[in-house]
Amino acid sequence: MAELPSRPRPRRSSDARPGTLVESARRVPLGRLPLSRALAAACLLPCALAARTAAAADFEVESTTGVQAYEVAGPWGDTNIERRRLLQTLGLAVYNLQGDSAPGEADYSATVRLRLDADFGMNGHLDGAQRGGETDYSIDGGSRYIPGLREAPLDLMYAYVEGRNVASGWLGFRVGRQYVSDVLGWWSFDGALVRLTTPYYVQLEAYGGLEQRGGLPLSTSRFERQGIWRGSHRGFGDDRTQPGSAADFPSYQEADLAPAFGVALESAGPNYIHGRLTYRRVYNLGTSVTQQFPDPDGGVRTSDESRISQDRLGYAANINKPDLGGIKGGVTYDFYNQLVGSFYGGLEVYAGSRVTLGADVDYFVPTFDADSIWNWFTHDPITTITGRAAVDVTREIDVAAWGGTRMWIAEGNPEEFGAGQCEAVRRPGCVGATSLDPNDGDLRDYARDEKNRATTISTDVLANLAGRYRTRTTSVELRGMLQAGERGRRTGADLSGEKRLSGQRYALGARMSLYDWEDPLRPDRGATSFGYVLGAGYRPGEAADFKIEWEHDMNRLVGQRFRVVGLVNLRVAP
């Protein structure tokens, strides 16, 4: 969508939106603990109060809750899959563990956050002998079993002890499960991080431990490299108390520990310029299946040696002057694939107090975990070049426009390559009707002939337009988009609005959307879709906050689809 102005500017009264219907997760003081965790708070409160008497430590409890109910079309065509989602997070932080704090002096803190991401609609479409079969291998011989699928997974998002301004401000550290976010991506590991900050605007960072991986206790697969299906083999196979045989699901790799380390050199001032050079390496341990299908005797070839999972280097920098504009750029290099994995650049100009102009380029090549089968296939870059403009017409009205091109690069011509393969094996017209043996000599020679692998480029046109009207109690926004090219088209618009009443105690919101798309490769999948969302919020005081949303989408492909979202935040003060 079109971006609204990003320039730093003073906050104004109309920006305050405490009654908005959708709010991001935020820290909740101890006296505002949601009632759903009141029991935990009751256990923690005496400790917190006692600690406050003895020292100057500060405590903080935060919680977010989201409930959804909706349906989606299943992979079996006419089957509707029910989704009953519950997302609950609970966090606790303790600050100033050392006692009274003073500016520039060492301070210590500890923080932890848990997440329950449950879907109680799983298995809901299965009846009779198959009931519960998606998550239980013993049902119906495992015919519907999906390895790694859990109804209510619980993971530890982060849990660490941190020290800052140690050794007269030279040292900082974190120990435990933590995040690292830089040009190499959002990443999580269990271990230790040490940071050395010098008085010369430079800091050195080193970290090491174990990458967080799905299938291990209290872990999620969100931070692993792509292209791999990995998890615990317990719960299925001949002996469900032990890790299953690799032949049960050869493409489902056994999760194991993944040692990792990284270093970074980063600027530490002045505040208008920032740069970070970073390197990260992760190893795969344990057994990996090296073939897609079992041998006739049921066995599979495996590798259990220590090997690379990822090995990457990156650098990113930005400069921003509030009175002039900004410039940014970044690049990553993948040592395993021996290629530039991504780079980006952007320029932003503040043309007066109300106009922001910008241009951006983004280059990306899909890369994967070194154990992934996708490394054997060609993967080519996607390049996006755009320009943008944003204007504050008045204090209440702003508009933004964004547009450009996206280039999809492929090795060989997708429209001609298949027909050429059929000709090579003297079976013209076999595209989509016959499976060919890739080991056939003529077929292999055709695929390796460089004249059949010339680079081809498909170009899409991108455009977005947005306008917004805001006051302290009202907001109305219109957004439109277009993406069109040889391989299809998608266009549409959203109109949304929100009204806050009675000192922002009440909130009413609505959104309408109309989109149309077509796919030349699948003409029967083109459609026009209409949807709307209605929402309401009520905040009787600081102790409670109620919100609800109703969504209704419709098109000829899926018919009618509904979604209900309910949010309740209750807070109790000591």
Domain ranges of the chain: 55-158
> Taking a C-beta distance cutoff of 8 angstroms, is the pair 220, 214 a contact?
yes
Low-confidence spans in the chain with pLDDT less than 70: 1-57, 75-79, 237-248, 292-293, 298, 571-574
DSSP state at residue 404: E
Cα(37)–Cα(56) distance, integer angstroms: 25
Helix (H) or strand (E) holding 385: strand 382-392
Of the candidates 28, 33, 56, which has an alpha carbon nearest to the alpha carbon of residue 44? Answer: 33
Of the candidates 310, 317, 367, 376, which has an alpha carbon nearest to the alpha carbon of residue 342?
367
Token readout for 99 is 């006692």
Q: Tell me the residue ranges of DSSP E strands in 212-338.
A: 229-231, 252-254, 259-267, 273-284, 288-289, 302-303, 307-321, 325-334
CA-to-CA dists, residue 38 to 44, 152, 218, 570, angstroms: 10, 21, 23, 10
> CA 130, CA 433: separation in Å to the nearest integer?
34
DSSP-derived pairing of the beta strands 252-254 and 229-231: parallel
Model's pTM, two decimal places?
0.82
Distance CA 553, CA 512 (A): 10
d(CA 86, CA 432): 42
Instruction: Give rounded-to-5 percent helix, strand, coil for the chain.
Output: 10, 50, 35
Query: What distance in Å separates the CA atoms of residue 564 and residue 549, rounded to the nearest whole number?
Result: 6
In whole angstroms, give the CA distance from residue 230 to residue 213.
8
Residue 391 is predicted with a pLDDT of 97
324 Cβ contact list (under 8 Å, min separation 6): 349, 350
Residue 135 and residue 142: Cα distance in Å, rounded? Answer: 9
pLDDT at 253: 84
Cα four-point dihedral sign 130, 132, 135, 137: negative
301, 234 Cβ separation under 8 angstroms = no
| Measured distance between the N- and C-terminal CA atoms of the chain, rounded to whole angstroms | 44
Which SS3 state, helix, strand or coil, does residue 419 take?
helix
Helix/strand/coil (H/E/C) assignment for every residue in 52-95 = HHHCCCEEEEEEEEEEEEEEEECCCCCCEEEEEEEEEEEEEEEE
pLDDT value of residue 535: 97
For the CA atoms of the chain, what is the radius of gyration?
A: 27
Q: Return d(Cα 174, Cα 193) in angstroms, integer.
A: 5
Of the candidates 295, 282, 277, 139, which has an alpha carbon nearest to the alpha carbon of residue 224? Answer: 282
Q: In 3D, which of 59, 60, 66 has the Cα closest to residue 24?
A: 66
Identify the pLDDT of residue 127.
Answer: 84
According to the model, what pLDDT value does residue 495 have?
A: 98
Phi, psi of 5 (to 5 degrees): -55, 135
Residues 406-436 as b/e (b if ≥16 CB within 10 A, e otherwise) read: bebebebeeeebeebbbebbeeeebeeeeeb
Q: ∠ at Cα 471 (465, 472), nearest 5°?
A: 135
Which residues, listed in sequence order, are joined to residue 547 by a DSSP beta bridge?
Answer: 537, 567
